């Protein structure tokens, strides 16, 4: 059975091409595959409230969630979905209303593109 783990910031670093991760993961018994999810509107507040009112055990993400990230955009303390998604998928903060470009308007590579370029499957 394959080991799967949900990561966000770490997924960007892993899939961005820092060495042959799959061989290292196999040797160290770590996760070989990464599921990178960008939930829109999700926050620690949402997670806390859901956890408090869930009747049968803890939420599934409690077992796999690894960390949080700052989601402000490059030009505003309050981000929108476009800027937040770009930052999470590429590691580069951008302006509100912008997808896939840095604040100067230059295209940025996403974690999916980096994974594909390194021969990994994406979907």
- What are the tokens at 38? 């960008």
Number of domains observed in the structure of the chain? 1
Does residue 69 fall inside a structural domain?
yes
- Residue 76: the pLDDT is 96
Does residue 46 fall inside a structural domain?
yes
Highest mean pLDDT (candidates 4-8, 94-98, 112-116): 94-98
- Residue 4: the pLDDT is 37
Does residue 44 fall inside a structural domain?
yes
pLDDT at residue 86 tops 90:
yes
Quote the domain boundaries for residue 91: 4-117
CB 88 within 8 A of CB 94: no
Does residue 62 fall inside a structural domain?
yes
Q: Exposed e or buried b for every residue in 30-59, given b needs 16+ CB within 10 A?
A: ebeebebeeeeeeeeeeeeeeeeeeeeeee
- Selection from 28, 100, 1 nearest residue 14 by Cα: 28
- Residue 41: the pLDDT is 73
| pLDDT per position as a tens digit, 21-44 | 556 656 677 767 777 776 777 777
Does residue 122 fall inside a structural domain?
no
Mean pLDDT of 55-73: 75
Q: Is the overall model pTM greater than 0.75, yes or no? A: no
Residues 6+ apart with CB under 8 A from 111: 11, 12, 15, 16, 36, 89, 90, 91
Does residue 63 fall inside a structural domain?
yes
To the nearest whole percent, how much of the chain has pLDDT over 70? 72
Comparing 20 with 99, which gets the higher pLDDT? Answer: 99
- Residue 65: the pLDDT is 67
To the nearest whole percent, how much of the chain has pLDDT over 90? 30
Does residue 123 fall inside a structural domain?
no
The catalytic residue positions are 81
């Amino acid at each position: 059975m394959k080991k799967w783990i949900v990561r966000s910031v770490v997924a960007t670093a892993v899939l961005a091409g820092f060495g042959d991760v799959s061989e290292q993961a196999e040797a160290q018994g770590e996760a070989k595959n990464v599921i990178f999810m960008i939930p829109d509107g999700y926050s620690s507040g949402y997670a806390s409230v859901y956890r408090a009112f869930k009747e049968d055990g803890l939420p599934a993400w409690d077992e796999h969630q690894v960390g949080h990230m700052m989601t402000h955009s490059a030009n505003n303390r309050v981000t929108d979905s476009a800027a937040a998604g770009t930052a999470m998928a590429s590691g580069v903060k951008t302006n509100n209303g912008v997808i896939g470009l840095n604040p100067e308007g230059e295209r940025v590579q996403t974690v999916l593109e980096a994974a594909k370029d390194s021969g990994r499957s994406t979907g």
